[in-house]
Amino acid sequence: MARLRVGVLISGRGSNLQALIDAAADPRYPAEIVHVISNNAAAAGLARAERAGIAHSALPHPSRAAFAAAADAALRQSGAELVALAGFMRILDDSFVAAWRDRLINIHPSLLPAFPGLHAQRQALGAGVKIAGCTVHFVRSAVDSGPIIAQAAVPVLVDDDVESLARRILAAEHRLYPMAVRLYAEGRLRISDDRVAILGAPAAAGVLFNPSPAC
């Protein structure tokens, strides 16, 4: 079975990239990472790609349009069929978003449409929400917008600070992103009216209460 060829764009740590690398290490996983691109030559994620033997490049970002053209060329050359943003911290040029429409996904550390943009975990703490989480979505040109593919929820605990909440959300991200890429690779996502239907996916059961209903 041919695996879906995925390009990944990063800017930093690359822990979500690592989660995808780890998932793809299983030959039964229906996707493989063919190229990792960073706008930042010092990104730790580039070393993760190197260790995994995955082609990788650091591309300069003189302007949005120049980066988009170079990234687009590199992705096409590597035969990428899907592009996954994993902690990519620059806004992508509209031309890139249009060229990869419905083949470009992102992960964001909030339950979108709440708390788009920077510091989502701080925004969640500031708003006093009791449940936070993460979202994988198709990318449209407005920041952190686009049809939602999958979400995972975690409780916000009374003594949380930004770091502890971010850690809890990140652990969920590392499970959610490989799952969402798998669903895409299996051809199970249908977008209509800017909403995503997932073929043959049972909804999660149960209710996450916070505080616990035992309170």
Write out the residues near ligand GRF by the rule CB under 6 A.
12-16, 86-87, 107-109, 170, 173
- Give CB contacts under 8 A, 24+ apart, made by 77-81: 78/5, 78/7, 78/34, 78/35, 79/5, 79/34, 80/5, 80/6, 80/7, 80/34, 80/35, 81/4, 81/5, 81/6
Q: Which residue has the tokens 């995955």?
A: 54
Two tokens at 203? 């909804």
Q: Which is nearer to ligand GRF, 87 or 211 (CB)?
A: 87
The CB-of-205 to ligand GRF minimum distance in angstroms stands at 25
Which ranges in 56-199 belong to alpha helices (H)? 64-77, 94-99, 120-127, 162-185
The CB-of-167 to ligand GRF minimum distance in angstroms stands at 10
The CB-of-213 to ligand GRF minimum distance in angstroms stands at 29
The CB-of-2 to ligand GRF minimum distance in angstroms stands at 27
Residues 7, 160: Cα–Cα separation, whole Å: 34
Please, are residues 108 and 135 in contact by the beta-carbon 8 Å criterion? yes
User: Which residue among the candidates 35, 56, 61, 108 is catalytic per the annotation?
Assistant: 108
Q: Which is nearer to ligand GRF, 30 or 45 (CB)?
A: 45
Instruction: Identify the H or E element spanning 46.
Output: helix 44-51
Question: Cα angle at 41 between 181 and 96, to 5 degrees?
Answer: 50
Q: Is 108 a catalytic residue?
A: yes
- What totals of helices (H) and strands (E) does the chain contain, helices first? 6, 9
Two tokens at 167? 């850690």
Q: Which is nearer to ligand GRF, 80 or 152 (CB)?
A: 152
Q: Which is nearer to ligand GRF, 14 or 147 (CB)?
A: 14
Q: Which is nearer to ligand GRF, 55 or 171 (CB)?
A: 171
The CB-of-118 to ligand GRF minimum distance in angstroms stands at 10
In the complex, residue closest to ligand GRF by CB: 87
Active site residues: 108
